A and B are shown apart, each in its own frame.
Chain A
Amino acid sequence: MLRRKALHALLTWDWYADYARSGQWFNSVLFATMTAYLVNMLTQSTSPGVWTALLWVVISFVTLQSASRTFYLSPANWNYINQLVTPMEIMVGKSIASALSSLLFVTVAFLFFGLWIGWPSDGHVLAIYLSVAIGTIGLSTTLCFTAAIASKTQAKGGLLAILSLPLLLPTLMIAGRATKLATLGVETHELTGPWLAEVGMAGIPLALSGLLFPYLWKA
């Protein structure tokens, strides 16, 4: 059973830790901007397919960077949080916080990407953004769980990417397809199917995380 009060406490905690009392958020904003600029430097003109692929490469990097901090807490802070909320609440709360943060940084990257590389001429920007936003939530729910696993090991850094990237591919494929259709300017009703598939790909990892995190928490 999820308590609203517990989720609120976790979200408030993350807000203070990442935004209100530290400049952690700025690192991610800078990273998102730099990645989008790097892609701009490496390419001149792109087809809708290449545009979509490059955008999702940028989004993958940004969400990965954002998720790497999700479970980065001192043992004392963990002890305090564990007294306030249950393991399932931690996972769901962290997933929501991670999804919101990723969404913010991906929005920044998306805007700069469009600014520098340009928008596809036939595409609807809002439809493209919706495909990107739902896909980002899917990526961040998977990444949040793998970040929880990686945080329990001695190996830091690279392990999160190794554990996560293969698991992100189903979401990336579905989200990439939805984005490509949006860049080609297809009607909104034709995008409903891919968007629902994206929602499904966000829900599966979240449900699995809720079920499995109590075991991780014990470890």
Chain B
Amino acid sequence: MRSRRRSSLYHDGAQPLESTAAVRRGTEWGLRTKVSRNYDLAVPTRLTPAEVERIAALAHLELTVPETQRLTQELGDILAYFDQLQQVDTTGVPATTNPVTSVPVMREDHPRPSMSQTAALADAPDPSANGLFRVPKVLG
């Protein structure tokens, strides 16, 4: 099933790369709503290694070259698998963000004892003697 999907998605040239790149540029300029109404356009044909690197930077991950190659392939396959969701007519359907049905219970806002500074720092990789989490320099 996987190879069939892939061949129909990538090997018949149904969606030239240029149009996807144009859509992507458009969405970065705030045209998301317009694009989202046309899912055929919003779904990219194929991930590129450059895009995988861009996503890795957003996720604070540093990928090796083989990792980038492998993830380009794997994520591309998984995203192609997600394409079937575009077949579902969701016009006017509200999004479910979570299945909570009851109204959240608010607690009284009273001060309570909390964890001691010593306990909070006990697991820190680099605690300072004066009770802080020490980190490398922020500005170069």
Is B truly associated with A? Answer: no
